[in-house]
Structure 1
Amino acid sequence: MIIFFYSFSFDQGRFFFTMLLAIGVILLNYYDIKLPPNGNGTSFDSSLHLAVLVVFGMKYVLFSLLLSTIFIFIFQYKKMVWWKHIFNFSMYVLMISSAYCAFLFFGGKMGAFNFAYALAYIASFVAYYTVNAFVMTFYFFLNSSQRMHVIVTNIVKETFFEYMIILGGAVILTLSLPFYPMFALTMFTSILVVLSIIFRKYSYLYEEVLKDKVFIEQLLNALPSGIIMNDKLKGSYFINESATTLLSLEKKDIEHMLNERQKPKKNKAFWELLLANAPVTNKKIVYKTLETKTFLISKVELKNRYDERIGEITYFLDITEIEELTKRMHQSEKLALMGEMAAKAAHEIRNPLAVIHGFLAFMNENLHERDREQYHIPLLLKEIDRINAIVEDMLLIAKPSAPVMKEAYMETIVQDVLSLFQQTLEAKNIRVHVRLDHVPLQLDSKQMMQVLYNLLHNSIEAMGEGGTICIYSDVDETYNMYMYDSGSGIPTHMQEMIFEPFITTKSSGTGLGLTIVKRIIENHGGTIALHDSSEKGTTFVIRLPIGR
């Protein structure tokens, strides 16, 4: 190499051209063409090497390469270790030498561009690219665990198009370099430097837009509302994470249904609204998966600055809990109104009832049996007792006493209540299975006995002869007690309102038993719900706090 450079004779023109070439290599190495995404770029110093190589020969190229490498090493020694500079220099020497040998081997002659040497030009470029790809493959093979063919495939995919652009630049420079070498080299370098600055600006803007896009997507994914955005220009959809969670579907499944404009039979109302073009504001939609949800859904158009429609955004919120809370508020209002009515009824009805009941009881004792039957005295007494029971229940709802909390065990209370029904259970041949966890709870035992009494009374009446009652529990954050009976179940149309006042399936019932049960459970900080009901039976679940 030293002998080679020593044999290179200089005159003033060659010196300035070589220096200009070295400066061009340095500038194009620094001002590479930045391409998005961040980290990608193309350096056109290889275009200089190839063009000068086939026009003026290898000496100019190697000498300018040496000068540029020394300059880059001086100014970048802190950024890159010395052996990498030597490695890069050696790789370029090998690439340039291979390209030069291939050019000569296929009959190429230095000088102006000539189509007769097209094969030599192509061979030179192929040799330059092949040596570069081979060195890169060998380097990555030593520093990664990937297989050789995978590395080669990736390198070819990532660099082939880039090298085709470099070849185009080399051809353009070759056409003008023999006639105006200084001017051509200066103009080529200047144009690429300007392009580099422009591309860097647009690459920076692209990165900023990409950052904003990522930030907006993260923001939308963090929202509790489901968001589905349709970009009409791109024909694509953005679906945030809350949407997939609320709909219990994968993103690809949602996109497929939207692209195919499918309207599945299940939750048809939701999908029809989503696929429609009309805007929607705060519409409630019932959506069923494993559980039934209520969505508040809105849909608005997206427009650009020219007021042109470019898409639409649909957003929906799960308001199931809010709806439940609203129902409870309405229930509380009903109970409050009933309380006022019951308080008045206590004064206005009970005293006259007592007088009537006493008078009829007197008649029942003193009249002959024929007269008692004629005037339906026993029936009147029975109906007055029923009216009195309704009044008592209304008073209990209107003025519930605050629970006196003491530590108690649910299985003890259950056994006490079952003892009250012992004769009835034996007479109807009803089997009872109890399996309850032994967990201390803060309860008003008297009120809880009333809860269990009402539930057991309903279960026994629902079953008739030879049924089964199961009372069992499980424990997580709350104490969950389940009460199952093998009765005929509650009619579907009544299941959502069984805890409302005066709702009953029995001709003789007051319809206040479950309302009282719910009030007592809620006063204990718990909940009661219809867990399941069908022709095979009914299950209620009571959830009570632990360690309160």
Structure 2
Amino acid sequence: MSPTTIPDAPSAATPPAAPPLDAAQLAEAFALFSRASEELSTAYNALQGQVAQLTERLTVLMGALPAGVVVVDRGGVVVQVNRAAESLLGAGLAGQRWPAIARVLEATGTPGEVTLEHAEGQRRLSVSETALESGEERILLLHDVTETHRMRLAAERNERLAAMGEMVAGLAHQLRTPLAAALLYTGNLRQPELGPVERAKVADRAIERLRYLERLIRDMLLFARGDSLGRQHFGVCDLVAELTHTLEPLARARQIEFDSTCDCGDLTLYGDRKALGGALTNLLENAIQATEAGGRVTCEAHREQLAAGDGVCFVVRDSGRGIPAELQERLFEPFFTTRAEGTGLGLAIARGVARGHGGDIALLSTPGQGSTFTLNLPLWRGEAPVGTAADSGVSAS
């Protein structure tokens, strides 16, 4: 008996063949595709029109902006500028590297502001920077604040002159008293009966009064002039060492322990070294005057994170009698003093110098437990203040 042949069963994996499209269905599908293509083309053309319109508006806006606009890519190359930026920095900026352009901008004592030598004279610019969300480009805004800066300086000077005017009566008394004493002592020198020893004592007292007058007039001039003049780079620890060399003998003469520390290494500041040294000297002299024999005065300097960025803090601490709360608010007022021999301008000048360098002075004191004055200053890197465009990621290292 021969084996029975079983026909092959259809494969379950093979899908059934789709019925062929007839001509009408093909025509309908082609018509749908054509309509979709036309709609996409219309939408694309509309988007192109909107982009062109937005581009035109942006171009007009950049041209009308009074502030300079510089667009810099990730590599630090300028890709776009407006007319205001070209009027400040020159034409043909596109394609150049921003770090090379930014070399003409010099840092000032105010964070975020730089100076630029211009054909119309030195200009003062406020520089701000914003990165795009993509991270591919950064936009730098350059605001010409020359006139604003001049008005600010004039207003500050007027405030100082107004403060001096309010204190004219008290100042006249301060000048008249030592002057009268000096005249009295020098008048006594004419008495023939004075011996050499008495004559020398009277002369010393007259010279002492005249020196006090000289110091008072010097402080008045410093207060009226306001901000300091020349600026330079100098080491923080070098300044602390100089202060120690100057003040340690004075403290030793009053039998007061004087210590100074600086953990800033080779860190540098940019400012008027003489003015800052004078401000810190005022703080240290006041601390020594407020401390009794056997007490202690310290001067410390360290790097610290401030609200405006990296900074340096100078801390002057004493173990003296402290300052009552009701007097602390008035200590920085011009001509206010708690010392008979004080001019009342030292702390006012010190705060003016600190603020002129972008910093400030703070006081913490408890009666009977001493006082702590903290002078903080922003830290400069190179020729540009921390946080400005010249020190941003678009700059060359």
Of structures 1 and 2, the larger Rg is shown by 1
Measured against the shorter chain, the TM-score band is: 0.3 to 0.5
Q: Structure 2 length normalisation: TM-score?
A: 0.46
Q: Structure 1 length normalisation: TM-score?
A: 0.34
